[in-house]
Amino acid sequence: MTRFSEKLRLRSLFPKPTRFLALLSLSTLYHLCKSLARFLLSQTLPFLAMDNLFSDDFDSASCRPNRRFLQDDDRDFGHERVYLLPHRWWVEAEGEGDRGEGVLYTVSCNSDSDFEILLHLRKEEERQKIGVSDRQYALVPEGIWLRALKRYNDFNNAVKDFGSLSYPEDCLPDLFPLQVKIFVSWETSSLVAKISQKENVADFYEKACDIFNSAYNPVQIWDFSGQTTQFFLNDKARLPNDSPGQPGKEVVLELQVHGLPDSMRGNEGNEMILDRSQMECSHSGSIIMNGSTDNVIPYVAVTNYFRGSSYRAIRSLGLTGLQNLGNTCFMNTAIQCLAHTTKLVDFFLGDYRKEINYENPLGMNGELALAFGDLLRKLWVPGAVPITPRTFKMKLANFAPQFSGYSQHDSQELLAFLLDGLHEDLNRVKRKPYHEVKDAHGRPDEEVAEEYWRNHLARNDSIIVDLCQGQFRSTLVCPMCKKVSITFDPFMYLSLPLPSTTIRTMTLTVISTDGITLPSIISVMVPECGTLKDLIGALSASCSLRDDETLLVAEIYRNKIFRVYKEPSDLLVDIRDQDKLVAYRIEKYNEATPLVVFVHERLVENFGKERFANRLFGIPLVTRLSSISCGYDVQREFLKLIKPFLIRTEDILDEYDKDDGVNKRLSEDDELGDTTNSAAIGSDADSNSGTEDDIHLSTDFEFYYRQENENVKIILNKPLPVTMLFGKPEVFVLWSDKMLKLYDTYLLDSLPEVFKPRSFTKRTQESVSIYKCLEAFLKEEPLGPEDMWYCPACKKPQQATKKLDLWRLPEILVVHLKRFSYSRFFKNKLETFVDFPINDLDLSTYVAHGNSQSSNRYVLYAISCHYGGLGGGHYTAFVRYGYDKWYDFDDSRVESVSEDMIKTPAAYVLFYRKV
């Protein structure tokens, strides 16, 4: 019996006290010193630059590359780690895609020292004669190990009685990291591993003695990772961490043992997989190539049945939160939704690095994919605490500066950038060919669609395309020549509008230009999310608009026209309740009849240098000038417009009889040309009003136009300047005090708001089906003036009509609900409740490709929610876990919720997977 075996026998009789002081390996010390040096350098640079240490500029691009912190997420995940597992467990755990050719080693312990374990790993050539025993272990890449745990966990969560299991507090496993030195012995063509008591905690060293003791049964290790074969390469070979692997030179590895029982002595069998009625504590094991063991938390393992045998499932696998770095909830929710996309997780838990495209000029040199893959693996490490995604955010900000800093952003915008960035980093196409787009020319849609899709895959081929991209059929029709153009375009997600079912009451003042009708206040009912076309249609019906008339809707602010609504597609949500709108009934557009705007002014007492000053009042009046040449034409049209506001004729005559100075005033105005020809004036006035009163009334209005910020008076008997004959001239009309008394200006000043809410009015909750949103998205509509289509037949841009149809549906369907609307003046958020199916979203009736053999049904598995208003608010995520469990991911907090709680008006982005 060797001294090592005797030591094991004596230790079983006389246990040693526990020692809790662990020594750092050279590799760990190197990484610690390197990170500390970077941290000190990042803290020194701001002082050298004389910048404020606490300012936002400290996070600028110039300082960011040197800014590293000793945080949990700074562990080195740059190289694939390898895990040590019980071989019997791995035989049942491995999936179809995880199976690979392994190398078998027989481990013998030949150590005569009480302070060092010396292991010899000899390669076995005749592996078929060796069965499966309890003394066999497997070296498995980290991603494949996590993927196996996730697969078992998903199956275990589907068991209905899983939630009834209890977990005693004293059933937590411990961890025992070991420092291992490995070198190649060329004399025996074997690997030699040394575990020193000086470099390890006493308890952990003793457990290593139990594990690798070969006095009773031989220990064997299957290497499915391919890592050990690198030790047998020539002198130029390198380890996975790029450190030189010279023959005979020791390489320091850090071994963390998980998933192994406390005692492995003797011939007791030590069953690693127990019956489903039992529950046990376990340790798990991993080999980390010069990595770190920080922040690995013990976890509880439960047993259950799978494929005819019992197995272990990690209860909290994947239920890991993300720390909020400061308004980064928008990023956390997008990451959590993608981190629970099953096939995407399986991809990044596998050997995804081999698909990184470092040559793609549209990509990010693989850095975004590496950062996302590392973060995703941290989220799926069993029992992990909330992760601080600082490294991922820094990588993201380097390539997308719009997401730098700590301001709130749109989660859907980040999601779109992230999916596109991951696609370019993982694009399997190294050199993108050029394909000329061909017209259909009467070919079947199936043939054309397949051609478009082949051309798309020839340039874009990645896991993102495989999972998230579908295909539209886009049909454009020219309104002039009826030319039809059909294309098939890829899409990554659906951005669905929210059609409003709520009716909005809008009040406007309708002003006629016929010289007879007084302004009228009209209230109409329109859809809350309707357009200007809906508003004009409702007003036209209410005021009995003639065929030769049209309505010009304008917003009045401070007695001037502030904005004119011209486009039928203008959204009514851009009109606030407190705005004041006027609808002018004018003749339809005619190039020979320009539009003129009359703005009212009056003299008011001023306390400045001038005793009196002009001040605007009333509602501007608008009309079309049928014939305009001189100032009399302007005067005639204005008198026609204000005639309905004239007080009774008897009252006017009485007022003039009381004024003895009227005739004198008329004679004094000869030099201005206002009274040069009373007969001419009278003829014009008679033609419009039929009375002689306008002869006198017209002389108390003065007309001006604006030229270079100065008012220029319009002389009635002189031609108008050329600048007033084009465009939309604006004429300022100065009212005298006498005219203010002769006209009812109260009607001109009465302008109600669009909507005056009543006190204690309770707003009803608006609800719409997701199918209605999809129908609104797919409906035919004209293109906007800024999106004109160049018609190849007409040879010029045309405002064509566009119709979208779903042609090819993706594996993962991302649905973006367009709750935010942006205009030139303000932003708005719709709090509409969208009713969406959870377990059966059927899109069969919306797919134009009738011969498609794939399924068109989906189940919901994640929701990104936004609470609050624009420019702030908060993002959270609901995620389906297992078969029917839902969890609320609120940054670092993760809580279980019932299914009836996930449907809220805050739902913003929906994630569906095909069934």
State the catalytic residues.
329, 874
Nearest Cα residue to 425 out of 344, 374, 371, 346: 371
Angle between helices 390-399 and 411-425 (to 10 degrees): 80
How is residue 676 written in tokens? 């040069």
d(CA 38, CA 35): 5
φ, ψ of residue 87 in degrees (nearest 5): -65, -35
Q: Residue 904: which residues within 8 A CB-CB, separation 6 or more?
A: 833, 865
φ, ψ of residue 744 in degrees (nearest 5): -85, 85
> In a 3-state reduction of DSSP, which class is residue 685?
helix
Q: Residue 810: which residues within 8 A CB-CB, separation 6 or more?
A: 467, 468, 469, 470, 914
H or E element at residue 307: none
Identify the bridge partners of residue 527 per DSSP, sorted by sequence position: 503
d(CA 79, CA 31): 14
- Write out 808-865 in H/E/C secondary structure: ECCCEEEEEECCEEECCCCEEECCCEEECCCCCEECHHHECCCCCCCCCEEEEEEEEE
d(CA 27, CA 32): 9
Q: Please give the DSSP secondary-structure letter assigned to residue 258.
A: B
- Write out 761-776 in H/E/C secondary structure: CCCCCCEEEHHHHHHH
φ, ψ of residue 239 in degrees (nearest 5): -75, 170
In this structure, are residues 379 and 362 in contact, taking their beta carbons and an 8 Å threshold? no
In this structure, are residues 93 and 152 in contact, taking their beta carbons and an 8 Å threshold? yes
How is residue 650 written in tokens? 């008897």
Determine the number of helices (DSSP H) and then strands (DSSP E) in the chain.
21, 39
> In a 3-state reduction of DSSP, which class is residue 563?
strand
Q: What does each C-alpha distance from 581 to 164, 536, 544, 595, 621 come to in angstroms?
A: 63, 12, 19, 18, 13
> In a 3-state reduction of DSSP, which class is residue 746?
helix
Residue 438 CB-half CA count within 13 A: 16
Nearest Cα residue to 86 out of 161, 139, 14, 160: 139
d(CA 122, CA 190): 5
Range 150-166 burial, b when 16+ CB lie within 10 A, else e: bbbbbbbbebeebeeee
Q: Look up tokens 């998205």; give the residue.
A: 777
Identify the bridge partners of residue 690 per DSSP, sorted by sequence position: none
φ, ψ of residue 412 in degrees (nearest 5): -70, -35
d(CA 187, CA 120): 12
Burial of 440 (0-12, 13-18, 19+ CB in 10 A): middle
In this structure, are residues 426 and 463 in contact, taking their beta carbons and an 8 Å threshold? yes
In this structure, are residues 501 and 833 in contact, taking their beta carbons and an 8 Å threshold? no
Handedness of CA 248, 254, 260, 262 (dihedral sign): positive
